[in-house]
Chains A and B, each alone.
Chain A
Amino acid sequence: MTNENALSVQTERNEKAVIVCPVGRVDGSNVGVLESAIRELLDAGQKTLIFDFEELNYISSAGLRVLLVTARRTQAEGGKALFCGLAEHIAHVFEISGFTNILTICQSRSEALAAL
């Protein structure tokens, strides 16, 4: 059972980074969609990613794992992963899990771009 319809991943190219916007919900059944979209970008040589979670309704722990792997890989390749646009309940998940301390969280997309 996959729930691929519940998630689409849109990307926008900026001169400084690629902005990744997951739309919908990321859970165990469709996390592969997000994972392969990210892998495609990184395999193509993209080093810096900004995740804009404006349109993200829900992310499960399986999705958080993919974000960790991405942060680790971009760092290892001399790039960076930033996260912005977190709705209140998603920010809450990041806080409880302690991810706010290990991932770079920005208020907005412009703040994320300025941080690069």
Chain B
Amino acid sequence: MTTSPVRLLVVDDEEDLELLIRQKFRRRIRKGEFDFVFAHNGQEALEKLAENPDIHLVLSDINMPVMDGLALLSKLEDTNPDVQAVIVSAYGDMENIRTAMNRGAFDFVTKPINFDDLEITIEKTLNHIRALETAQEARDRLVVLKRELDVAQQVQMSALPKEIPSSETHDVQALMIPALEVGGDFYDFFPLSDELIGLVIADVSGKGIPAALFTLMTRTLLKGTARDSPSPADCLSRVNDLLAEDNETCIFITLFYGVFDLRDGVFRYSNGGHNPPRLVRSDSRIEEIPPTENLVLGIAPGHEYRNGEVRLAPGDALFLYTDGITEAQNTNDEEFGEERLDTKLASLGQVSARDIVTTVVDEVRAFAGDAPQSDDITCIAMRFAAPLSSSTVDGT
């Protein structure tokens, strides 16, 4: 709360009003609550307002020389939109009062002035001004928050892996469409050696900033752990222990992590409560990656994660996704579902990883139509073209 007096501008060509005001409000002036500035016509009032930008309340007469009260109101609308005016007019002068109200006056009092009424009117107007200021501050804070959210989004998006060029052996492509500025999904892919590629997809409970913080933390922990251990289960167990420490909010993350061996097509993985990815065989059969029957990460310290293993032949592809795909709804509240996903994947034939992700996401969006997107949509595809031969290793 401000301790400096509230400054008010009184505009009237009658000199004795100044004396009267000083007299009637002397206690509040002495206490430092009010401070009055006086002007004798509209022109002078505008000058005083320019000199005293802290004035937000004007008490003005209507009939004055040079510039009258009604003209002043019209000017104020343009030059001082944050100033509220209370009009003083003769009792019965309804025509002028109506004009003043239509030009944006907040209220009016009648002459002869009843000073108790005037004081109430001033207080009421000041409360209104304070409410407007509070609303403005809230709006300003929102603008700042929005800007910070945009930055958070940039940080989050820049933490995602950059595209990697396709090679003779494989190609990988991911696609993510967050539902909010910052999302609760993430994906990652990184080479662990010349022969091994790590693939990650994950979905945090909830969305927004808390979820985004959790995804960044998980991504960093997993990437760090992945370099130390070739076993995905081992990595998940370690990351889970770290996340579950003091996690009273029970925010959790479903996370699938697999390591693909370019030499023999073996994909070792561990699934922490995530939707099972798909294996798209070269003859268009769709297989669900068998579950490892494990829990989401972040809530049960000491949980032992297990590995699973599948083998890809050249021409096979992996498709990892979050429930933003299968749970996307159309305007009839129907879900896209696993069946539609599998049908689409089976219809693709031998296309690039990029074509797999874009075709599936286009299909989901076409299905959803005008229904709002309620969850992040994320998927990664990896197509295995040919095993890494010793000559290819020599060549790189």
Contacts and interface: CB of A to CB of B under 8 A. Distances in A.
Contacts of B323: 61
A52 interface: no
B176 interface: no
Contacts of B23: none
Given A28-B374, A102-B299, A69 B205 contact: no
A102 B291 CA distance: 17
A101 B295 contact: yes
Given A96-B275, A98-B293, A102-B295, A62 B205 contact: yes
Contacts of A58: 327
A65 B323 CA distance: 16
Contact of A102 (B205, B274, B300, B375): B300
Given A96-B276, A97-B254, A61 B291 contact: no
Given A69-B250, A96-B275, A62 B206 contact: yes
Interface in A73-114: 96-99, 101-102
A58 B333 CA distance: 11
A61 B203 contact: yes
Contacts of A28: 206-207, 374
Q: Chain A interface secondary structure, helix, strand, loop or mixed?
A: helix
Interface residues of B, number: 27
B273 A97 contact: yes
A60 B252 contact: no
Given A27-B374, A60-B375, A98-B293, A65 B206 contact: yes
A96 B294 CA distance: 8
Interface in B90-139: none
Nearest to A89: B335
Q: Categorize the interface residue count of chain A.
A: 10 to 19
Contacts of A72: 250
B205 A98 contact: no
A37 interface: no
A68 B252 contact: yes
B243 interface: no
B254 A61 contact: yes
B67 interface: no
B254 A68 contact: no
A23 interface: no
Contacts of B294: 98
A64 interface: yes
B205 A96 contact: no
B249 interface: yes
B174 interface: no
Interface in B283-342: 291, 293-296, 299-300, 323, 327
Interface in A1-54: 27-29
Contact of A65 (B250, B293, B295, B300): B250
B251 interface: yes
Nearest to B179: A28
A105 B60 CA distance: 73
B204 interface: yes
Contacts of A101: 293, 295
A63 to B, nearest CB: 9
A97 B323 CA distance: 12
B252 to A, nearest CB: 6
Interface string B204-239: 111100000000000000000000000000000000
A33 B264 CA distance: 51
A27 B276 CA distance: 22
Residue among A27, A58, A98 with max Cβ neighbours from chain B (10 Å):
A98
Given A64-B252, A96-B276, A98-B293, 18 more contacts: A28-B206, A61-B206, A62-B207, A65-B250, A65-B251, A68-B252, A68-B299, A69-B250, A96-B254, A96-B291, A97-B273, A97-B296, A98-B295, A98-B296, A99-B273, A101-B295, A102-B295, A102-B300
Interface of A: 27-29, 58, 60-62, 64-65, 68-69, 72, 96-99, 101-102
19 contacts: A28-B207, A28-B374, A29-B374, A58-B327, A60-B375, A61-B205, A61-B252, A62-B206, A64-B205, A65-B249, A69-B249, A96-B273, A96-B274, A97-B254, A97-B296, A98-B293, A98-B295, A99-B295, A99-B296
